[in-house]
Amino acid sequence: MRRARYWARRLLRSSRLRGVLCWAIHLYIRFVYATNRWTAEGEEWPRRLRQDGSGFILAFWHGRLLMIPMAWQRPAPMHMLISAHRDGRIIADAVTYFGVQSIPGSTRRGGSAALRRMLKRLDAGDCVGITPDGPRGPAMTASGGIVNLARLAGAPIIPIACATSRRRVLHSWDRFNLALPFGRGIFIWGEPLEIAPDLDAEGLERARLLLESRLNEMAREADRRVGHPPLPRPAAQFDPLELGEARAEPGHERVQGSQ
Per the DSSP assignment, residues forming a β-bridge with 212 are none
Specify the pLDDT at position 136. 81
What CATH number did the domain enclosing 250 receive? 3.40.1130
Cβ–Cβ contacts within 10 Å for residue 212, how many?
A: 23
CA distance 245 to 193: 10
CA distances to 36, 83, 88, 106, 111 from 9, rounded to whole Å, are 33, 17, 13, 22, 26
CA distance 19 to 11: 10
Q: Strand 184-189 vs strand 157-164: parallel, antiparallel, or unpaired?
A: antiparallel
- Residue 39 C-beta-side C-alpha neighbours within 13 Å: 8
Cβ–Cβ contacts within 10 Å for residue 31, how many?
A: 11
Residue type, 84: A
Q: Which domain covers residue 102, as residue numbers?
A: 2-255
Closest CA to 213 of 147, 122, 117: 147
**How confident is the chain (259 residues) per 10-residue block, as mean pLDDT?**
60 74 94 98 92 92 94 78 73 87 73 89 94 89 95 97 97 93 98 95 96 97 95 55 44 66
Specify the pLDDT at position 166. 98
Specify the pLDDT at position 119. 96
Question: In degrees rounded to 5, what are phi and psi of residue 152?
Answer: -70, -40
Specify the pLDDT at position 88. 63
Q: How many helices (H) and strands (E) does the chain have?
A: 8, 12
The total of structural domains in the chain comes to 1
